[in-house]
Amino acid sequence: MTRECSLLLPRVCAALADPRLPSSDDTCLEKLLDWFRELAESDPTVKLMQDNPCLTEFITSILALPEPSPSILSFTLRLAGILAASENRFQHLQQEQLLVRLFGRDGPLNSSLWEDASVRSGWVEGVHSMMHHQPALHFLCHGGGINTIFTLQGDPSLFVASAASQLLVHMLTLSVESETTKPLTTKDCDWPACARMIIKHIEDSLQSSSASDIEQSLKLLTGLFGSCRAAWTEVLWLGIVKQIKSFLMEETVRAPHALANLLLNMTWSPVFCNDEGSFWALVTSALEHFTPIEASPLAVGILRLYKCPQDVRIQALTVLLQPMDCILRAASQPLEYAGLLDESVSDPITVESLLSSKSSCAGLLCQTLAHLEELLSLVLLPVELPYPSLLRSLMTILQFCNGSVNPTSPLGSTISRILVNCFRVQRSALDVLAALSERKGCDTLIEDLFDVLLAYLESPNTSPTVLKKTFHATSKWLARLQELSCSNNQWQQTEKILKDVFLVLQKRLCSPCWEVRDSSLEFLTVLIQCLRDQDEFRQSLLSSEVPRLTESLLEDPESYVRASAVTAVGHLAFITYFAPESPVAGNLCNKEVSFTANTVAKLQEILSTDPEGFPRRAVISIFTKWLRQGCTGQLEDAEQFVSRVIQTVVHDLDWEVRLGGLELVEVFYTQTICQLGLPKCPYAPVSSAVTTSVPQDESLQIFCRAKLFSFLFQSLCDCDKPVAQRACDILLALRVTFHPISTLKDSQGAGDSPAGCGIAWLQRTLSQGSLAQNFPIDGANGVDFQDPESMMLALGTIDLEELHDELNKSSDHVEKSPQSLLQDILATVGTIKENEADCY
Amino acid sequence: LFQYCLSGHPTLPCNVLKFKSTTIMLDCGLDMTSTLNFLPLPLVQSPRLSRLPGWVLKDGSTFLDKELKECSGHVFVDSVPEFCLPETELLDLSTVDVILISNYHCMMALPYITEYTGFTGTVYATEPTVQIGRLLMEELVNSIERVPKAQSASMWKNKEVQRLLPAPLKDAVEVSMWRKCYTMPEVNAALSKIQLVGYSQKIELFGAVQVTPLSSGYALGSSNWIIQSHYEKVSYVSGSSLLTTHPQPMDQASLKNSDVLILTGLTQIPTANPDGMVGEFCSNLAMTVRNGGNVLVPCYPSGVIYDLLECLYQYIDSAGLSNVPFYFISPVANSSLEFSQIFAEWLCHNKQTKVYLPEPPFPHAELIQTNKLKHYPSIHGDFSNDFKQPCVVFTGHPSLRFGDVVHFMELWGKSSLNTVIFTEPDFSYLDALAPYQPLAMKCVYCPIDTRLNFIQVSKLLKEVQPLHVVCPEQYTQPPPTQSHRTDLMIDCQPPPMSYRRAEVLTLPYKRRYEKIEIMPDVS
């Protein structure tokens, strides 16, 4: 602790303990506790308390108050806990009788303040903080505090209840691990006293008739098995397994969710997952006895495991897929499809009844679909799902939802009636459909699948959110379709589907709903990104009206749509304007729908005149993308292009646009250096004829001509920090390029030349950062930003590292210090005092 | 309590209720689908239509070739279109005491009832219903009368002959009941028998029954009716909507505690969500115009067109269609657009509040001011001078058999750049297009029907809990083309009682109490 803080702390403690003053705000108190925790952890001795007797005095004075404020009392409890975390300080506080008075029977526990949840929470946290040594353990167990924790497990405040449960887990682990001398086994389990009390509490609660007692114990066990993987947990488990089994045998399983969580946590523990029989038999039993909705989370958890007996995995798969299987069977003729599951392992009656009920059908399906999506999103799925049947089932669900399936069974009719126009199920099914595109084996169904997707894309009844998800799924499957076409040469099918997709996209681009226009443009962009190398795709796209309509949306009244249109037009340019050699693009030109330089001019106009930020950000982003992909060479001279763009964005009010401009500059810089063969770009082919000085001069001249330096130095003083930081990073990179060896020159010592004076001015200006007013870039003050020599001098002279460090300091680096925190608390108190004086 | 069912069309109902010695007709809808069997009436000579070959029987007989013409495999009657009237034989219509009209679409048969049956009672309807109903009738009469047809076909109606005809003429029902359109004097005479009523106004009928119109939310002035005595309450729900469109919202609360609820006029396209369809309409319109094509929207001169124009008002600029002219052509176009702006008290809350601002309730006024929307009584005159392409034309009639729409179908049908967008759900678009085949222009079907769907009905019935529901038989089973869609039928307990054309129902409610007053001298 610094001397300043030691001087301030007594005043702060006194202020906090003064009941006449309102409590300091919670954030300050939390920060104060964080600081005390740091101090306490760095030195376990009593020195902290000896050097700062005000801490003990503070606790004493709070205890002396007849009715302290709940927040200060809570703070005191937590502070005492933090201090008592080391055995020495614990003893010190015990000697003063402070811990007993705070955490014992006569403390807040029995006062009216205990009604306040923040006091109970502070008590639990305080105990948790001190629980690092046996004396603390004995203090709690022998002082009766442990019974309070047992009670707090059922606290009406969920935060307190959860904290109490975690505390018990911590105490049990601490007790067993610090108080046993030999490993515990099933034959010899002499639990330490504290552990014995907790285990007895668990056993008693499990045998209780109260559902909430059972649930609390199950939660405690879940926490224990989730955090502790020691062998003794098995000993504990063997003592309660009979009771757990009995829960599963009841007609209605009690606390099924807590039970499922417990079993799931145990499956991850090496103590149990290597078990040969009984544990997994219990898991199987749970899967059988839970209702489908209860069993599904357990099933999906099991299917994520790599280490799991095969029969349990099959059982879990059965549970998860049963609703999908029922859907398939309900919609199809008997024996038409094989279904997803072997009938011998599945008993569909319960699932069928849930699917037949209006209140449970959508819920069950959405849960199943969410779990399937979760599984399919795993890169490595430990279990192989029956993908074709799953896809067929998904398609059936989607057809039920738009009323296009004609079921033959009574169950199918009921489900159809329930699911028609159910957007929730539609959204979930489309999510899974998109995830399924990554999996192999569904190729034979692809044509039917696109019939379903196109029906959704075309239907006026499709809601905007469902449409967005349909677009997503369609783009994923179109990419898959292209892969397939490449391998089996079935281009006709692909062309027909693409034609239909563009026909419907054309209509959607004209939708009066801006969300639809926006997601249509996003869809188009994604398609171009994925498929622009495919001739069939380009042909279908360019022969449709989509490019022309997209371009017209650059003038859409909705800014989001304009931004999406900019992005889409920017991507379209890759297959039109930037690929003139392509026969497809040639064809486009013949149709007089080509992208011309007007399109580029239009984007530049948006950048300089659009009143909204989103379209301007989109333009600068597209320009950067074009430059990165080397397209601007055909636009015009890249140098002129970059120069013009940065002169536009430098005045932009949106910092993200200015930041985008810097990104453009960075790409331009990298490319120029690469082209001229400087070592910045290690992969660039270096011509043997290139010398080190010639390209260096040339590139510097290019940067000066493009007015890069004025933009960069001006950005260094930007009032938005990310802009200044990025500019600084780029200037540092430039300096490394042009001054490979750090040779900072003194600006004063750079001579009394006009350039030297200018640089000195520049350095002074930059040191003011964002406070610098009216940054002149026109050569006033002796700095010519287009003069290579001056810029070389500037790069070599200005201490960019220092600027970099300064910019990278967080904005509250001063305010974050403990000293500042203490001063803040005092200042608040002082202000209040002044106000009080004013009042009287 | 008896119900005589005079119409088989669930959205163009005509029922007669005998209740406590009063005879009350509930709506008198006119089924115009019969006109689909006729050739269109072109405004200018159509060489294509006049060249159509006469129909020849299989045995080579040619006696019908003047009456029936063949076009792309379909046979049409070459005569003035005729309409299928409600049943007139089931009961003596001269005994009808009152006619209650629920909306302007459900009064199109009124002149046939009031002027041909000896009817001497009173007709009750709201003011917008009468005014807009008059416009619809005027447009109908005008469209047919301005293209006089030299011949009138009747031979094909002979039962022996009809049996030999191809479908759908062979299967057409009650062809002997089909009648030519009424005349304007008949319209005026019929409308003169109407007494105007306001929402929630209680009207006593002979001291025995009280009838009350309630807002139904479907169209300007559209109503449901409560018919009640001291101890019985019958609700008549016809053409209602829970969507937020231009009319006043539906009054559901007053329908509670009904003994019998007669439910008609549900959406004809239960699978189409009106919002989605409006989106589809706009998308197709924009796509066509951007490609240089024209858009034709066959429509009625009132109703959904107001919502479409409002939607386009918001969409035009965003779709870059500011320079595309929108034309509304109807003999009553001007009146329709103006009427809509003056019925403030019949509009939804949002539009009512605009009355207090210096802006009209409907934004089509601004479209007119800015010359984006132009309206004409017909294609002749000013329109031919102003006409610019590409453009969007709203015109009638949705059956494509008469009105200015026939001209545009002939004019634009040959180009695939053009699109006809069907928004009215009353006619099968394929049947409507049949006499124009082969057709190059694109056809888009975006039926916009804001009336109650089956989910809404289910919620409504749960809310108002009538003891018994009576409805057309079509609502008690899934649509024939989607037999698996069991969600597309009324689902309530006890199951609804269904009716069909020409059926007489004894409604499932027995009167138990009667309020009587005993004169002191009798007691």
Domain ranges of chain A: 1-143, 291-442
* Token representation of residue A776: 């002149």
pTM of the model: 0.83
Query: Residue A406 and residue B484: Cβ atoms within 8 Å?
Result: yes
ipTM more than 0.90?
Answer: no
Q: What are the backbone dihedrals phi and psi of residue B229, each rounded to the nearest 5 degrees, phi first?
A: -115, -165
d(CA B336, CA B246): 14
Distance from CA of A346 to the nearest CA of B (A): 28
Q: List, as ranges, residues 400-459 from A with C-beta within 8 Å of B.
A: 403, 405-407, 413, 416-417, 420, 459
> Percentages helix, strand, coil for chain B, rounded to the nearest 5?
30, 20, 50
Q: Which helix (H) or strand (E) holds B17?
A: strand B15-19
Q: Do B287 and A510 touch (CB under 8 A)?
A: yes
Query: What is the Cα–Cα distance from B359 to B350, expressed in whole angstroms?
Result: 12
Collect all residues of chain A within an 8 Å Cβ-Cβ radius of residue B318: 512, 514, 556-558
Spacing of C-alpha B258 from chain mean position: 27
The first and second tokens of residue B493, run together, are 């307990």
The nearest CA of chain B is from the CA of A436 a distance in Å of 29
Burial of A96 (0-12, 13-18, 19+ CB in 10 A): middle
Position B157, amino acid: K
Q: Is A591 on the interface with B (CB under 8 A)?
A: no
Q: How far apart are CA A96 and CA A102, in angstroms?
A: 11
Query: Does A238 lie at the interface with B, CB-CB under 8 angstroms?
Result: no
Residue A462 touches chain B, beta carbons under 8 Å = yes
pLDDT at B254: 95
* Residue in A510, A559, A592 to test binding to B, most B beta-carbons within 10 Å: A510
Please list, in sequence order, all residues whose beta carbon lies within 8 angstroms of the beta carbon of residue B360, skipping any fewer than 6 positions away.
Answer: B341, B354, B366
B523 C-beta neighbours (distance < 10 Å), count: 5
Interatomic CA distance for residues B5 and A561, integer angstroms:
54
The label of the residue with tokens 């401009």 reads A661
DSSP state of A146: H
CB contact under 8 A, B318 and A514: yes
Distances (CA, A) of A191 to A202, A204, A217, B183: 14, 16, 18, 105
- Residue listed under structure tokens 């226009």: A517
CB–CB contact A460 B276 (8 Å): yes
Least confident of A470-479, B76-85, B147-156: B147-156
pLDDT of B412-432, one tens digit each?
A: 999 999 999 999 999 999 999
CB contact under 8 A, B279 and A511: yes
What DSSP state is assigned to residue A58? H
From chain B, pick out residues whose CB is under 8 angstroms from the CB of A462: 276
The Cα–Cα gap between B98 and B81 comes to 29
Q: What's the mean pLDDT when you consider all of chain A?
A: 84
Peptide bond into B438 cis (omega under 30): yes
A:B CB pairs within 8 Å = 72
Task: Provide, rounded to the nearest whole percent, the portion of chain A with pLDDT above 90.
Answer: 37
Q: Is the pLDDT of residue A840 over 60?
A: no
User: What's the whole-number mean pLDDT along residues A785-810?
Assistant: 81
What residues in A contact B291, CB-CB < 8 Å?
545
Interface check B244 vs A, CB under 8 A: no
Is A470 an interface residue toward B (CB < 8 Å)?
Answer: no
- Each residue's pLDDT tens digit, B154-163: 889 988 888 8
Residues 6+ apart with CB under 8 A from A759: A747, A750, A783, A790, A793, A794, A797, A798
Higher-confidence residue of A406 and B156: namely B156
pLDDT score of B269 more than 90: yes
DSSP H helical segments within B203-362, as ranges?
Answer: 274-290, 304-318, 333-342, 349-354
Q: How far, rounded to the nearest angstrom, does the alpha carbon of residue B67 sit from its chain's CA centroid?
A: 28
Inter-axis angle of helices A410-419 and A310-331, nearest 10: 90
Tell me what the mean pLDDT of segment A561-570 comes to. Answer: 96
> pLDDT band at residue A586, thresholds of 50, 70 and 90?
very low
Mean pLDDT of A53-59: 90
Give yes or no for A358 touching B (CB within 8 A). no
How far is the C-alpha of A401 from the C-alpha of B128, rounded, in Å?
Answer: 40
Give pLDDT, residue A839: 40
Share of chain B above pLDDT 90, in %: 67
User: Domains in chain B, start-ordered, CATH in brackets?
Assistant: 2-34+82-267+451-504 (3.60.15.10), 274-445 (3.40.50.10890)
Find, in chain B, the residue whose alpha carbon is nearest to that of A510: B283
- Checking if the pLDDT of A39 tops 70, the result is yes
| Chain A residues touching B314 at Cβ < 8 A | 512
Q: Which residue has the higher pLDDT, B158 or A814?
A: B158
- Give Cα separations from A152 to A144, A227, B360, B442 (angstroms): 13, 21, 66, 72
Nearest CA distance, A661 vs chain B (angstrom)? 30
The nearest CA of chain A is from the CA of B287 a distance in Å of: 6
Q: What are phi and psi of B234, to 5 degrees?
A: -115, 130
pLDDT in tens, A677-693: 655 444 444 444 444 45
Rounded to whole angstroms, what are the CA distances from A490 to A241, A481, A527, A535, B439?
59, 10, 19, 14, 33
Would you state the pLDDT for residue A774?
A: 59
A512 contact B CB<8A: yes
The answer to whether the beta carbons of residues A122 and A73 sit under 8 Å apart is: yes
**Could you give the CA distance from residue B25 to residue A246 in angstroms, rounded to a whole number?**
71
Higher pLDDT, A820 or B446: B446
Average pLDDT, integer, range A47-55: 88
pLDDT digits (tens, 9 = 90+) for A304-338: 888 888 888 888 998 999 999 999 888 876 656 56
CB-CB under 8 Å, A510 with B282: yes
DSSP alpha helices (H): ranges in A274-334?
Answer: 278-289, 292-303, 310-331
pLDDT class for A190, splitting at 50, 70, 90? confident
Q: Give kind and range of the element (H or E) at residue B395.
A: strand B392-395
Distance CA A99, CA A77 (A): 9
Top-level class of domain A1-143: mainly alpha
How confident is the model at residue A635, as a pLDDT? 52
Of the spans A210-219, B42-51, B223-232, B238-247, which averages the highest pLDDT? B223-232
